[in-house]
Every structure is written in structure tokens, then in C-alpha cells.
Amino acid sequence: MTNSLSIVKNLIRINTENPPGITTEIINWIEQWAKTEKIPAKVQWYENKKGNIQLKVGDADKTILICGHLDTVPIGDIYNWNHDPVGGVEIDDHIYGRGSADMKSGVAVALSTLKRINREFKPSEMQYSITFLGTSDEEVGLGGVKASLELGLLDKTEFLIIPEPTGLKVGIAEKGVLWLSIIASGKTAHGSTPEKGINAIEEIVKLFPILHSSVPNHVDDILGKSTLNIGVIQGGNIANVVPERAEVQCDFRLVPPIQPADFSNKLTQKIADFALESPAKFECQVKQTMPVIKSSEDNYFVKKFLEKSGTQQLSGLNYATDGAVLVSNAPKELPFVLYGPGNPKKIHVSDERVSIQEIHAAEQTFMDFLTEVCFSR
């Protein structure tokens, strides 16, 4: 069993479902593992039973940062699983369990690579040090990586690697995110006399064409098109009462050059203009926003990583990761890649699994890239 396989099995066997997102046990395990490997570790507790852990190999001030989250989505209905979701079971070419692909295998690859470099090379000769940042709360609100900004890591970071499950494709972009809640307030009345009320559901549904027509039609070469999903609509209590309140929740995924903050301002103005002609009152609430991020294909680190991965296929993610927080808060332009084992179409499902071959391939890419970049003069 290789280092990565042993590590990922141990990580899977520690339940980090979010909610509640408790990461005490997994952080303690990584801290003890680092101590055994003589790798310096620092823990940042930012909330009750939640924290981040930082490991560093090398003495150089400038660093390559590898960031991976330690929490997972909930296991869900246990009866839908054929394999123990916290068992780390190996069958043929796969390891099963919640977080096996998203993203404890990516974390395991990072840790195993640090271990090998620390053992096989002289850290004192490194041109760039290597820092691993394990975060909490990525699946719910990105609270861990936001708290990690206090550590000041970005001041010294020259390149960022996010080992999310990409199926070994090299990602250089993430769509921006805007979650918008729109609330319509009408007037209640008896269902037999609807003309005496203001139907909040009917009024809010009239917004749908405006929402869809607002989606930018620009096509990005990596990320494709911006999208809208109207994921929630709530309103009314019973058929014979005119509903006085209705709410829709929208999920916009945006591609460059559009940024969520600018798009949100323009959209809320369109809704305000619509509200002037409606008998109902409207309120918009931004629930979550994450910036669009995109790395240059011509960056030295990106080109070198692409070379070492053995693929020429660049890709992007439709969803946001910890990388969105790190890149958007860096004091200077921060090049990055998203690369890791695991099929991104098979995460967050029952019997989640990751290919052992992909774990091996990812670790080899990490080793080839980091040893050349960090030790070249």
C-alpha cells in the first residue's frame, strides 16, 4: 500500500460530515502524522471544534501553497450505500467512502508528497517551500479558508494548487457564484375573492422572464456559458387563501468578464424597476457571492504543471472552491491550478469512490512538478 492510499483510508474513517462540520479529530490525526514525519504543523482553531491546519516543508520564504478541505457533505441515507461510508474500503481499483473523491484523496496526495520530499530531498536547498493548508467548512460557507486569511500565507504564496476532484484534468478557472433570494409581499384575501388581495406568487412569477433574460450570453473559452437555476419557490399556505408572501431563490453561475457583485447590482435595479409597475412589494437579499477566478494559461507555473500532468486539456469548474477566497484576497495576482483524483460527476453521491490509479497518477504529477520547481536554480 502506498503512502497516499494509507492516508486516504485513515481520513475517510474520520467522519467530517458538514453539517455539523466538526474537524477536531481529523486535524488531530494530521497533526500527529506530521509530528511523526517531522514536518512542522500549526493549528488554527477559529470556531468550536472547527479549525485549519498548516504544514510546511522547506526553509524558503516564498512558498507553493496546496489547499484542501477536510469536511464532507452529509452521508445521507445509509441504506442507499452498499459500502460503509466511513470504512475506507478498497475494492479492485477503487476506495469507497464519503469524501473519498471530494476531497480526502486530494488531501492524501498532498500529504504523501510532502512526506516524500521531506524524506528524499534536502528542504534547506529548496527555492520555494511547500505549504499545505487543510481547511474546514468548505462545503458550507467557506468559513475555514476565510479564517485562514489571518495567517498571512498569501503574502508569501507564489502559486496555488487546489487538489479538488477534476478527473486529472488541469483546471484554471472557476465560475462566479451569486445566490439571490427575492421576496414578494402582497395582500391576503379569501380565495373566493382574489380581486381583494394581491397574489404574491403570481407577482413573483412575472419576474422569471426578467431573471432568465438577465443571464449574460458571453461564452468563455474555458468555462462556457453563465447559467441560472431557480432552485426554490415558496409561498402560500392553503388553496383558499390569497398568498401574501412568496420567495424564490436563484443560483447564478457566471463566467468572466462578469463579476457577481456587478451583476447583482444591475439585476437588483431591474427588479426595482419591475416593482414600480407591480402592486406587490419586492425585496432582494444576496445570500452568497463568490468571485469568478481564472489563471493565465501562459503563467510559468501553470505551463509547467500542465507539462508534468501529461495532458494538454485545460478545464474549469462550475462551482466555487477555497481557491476563490484565496485568489481574490491575494495581495498580487495569484496563479493557480485545480487538479486532483476523482470524477467530479460522481461526488456527493451514495457509494462515493475514487480510482486508485488516479491517486497514483496525481501523486506522481505533484512529485514531478514540485521537485522540479522547488529545487531548480
- Residue 60: the pLDDT is 95
Give the other-Cβ count within 10 Å of 195's Cβ.
8
Q: Is the pLDDT of residue 32 over 80?
A: yes
pLDDT on residue 31: 99
Q: What is the mean pLDDT of residues 293-308?
A: 97
Average pLDDT, the chain: 97
Question: pLDDT tens digits, residue range 45-75?
Answer: 999 999 999 999 999 999 999 999 999 999 9
Domain with residues 176-285, CATH architecture: 2-Layer Sandwich (3.30)
Q: Compute the residue count for the chain.
A: 377
* Cβ-based neighbours of 18, under 8 Å, separated by 6 or more: 71, 72, 73, 74, 136, 137, 139, 140
What is the reported pLDDT for 313? 82
- pLDDT, residue 377, reads 56
**Domain assignments of the chain as residue spans, ordered by start:** 3-174+292-375, 176-285
Reported as a single tens digit per residue, the pLDDT across 85-134 is: 999 999 999 999 999 999 999 999 999 999 999 999 998 899 999 999 99
Whole-prediction pTM: 0.93
pLDDT of 207 > 90? The answer is: yes
Mean pLDDT across the stretch 292-306? 97
CATH of domain 3-174+292-375: 3.40.630.10
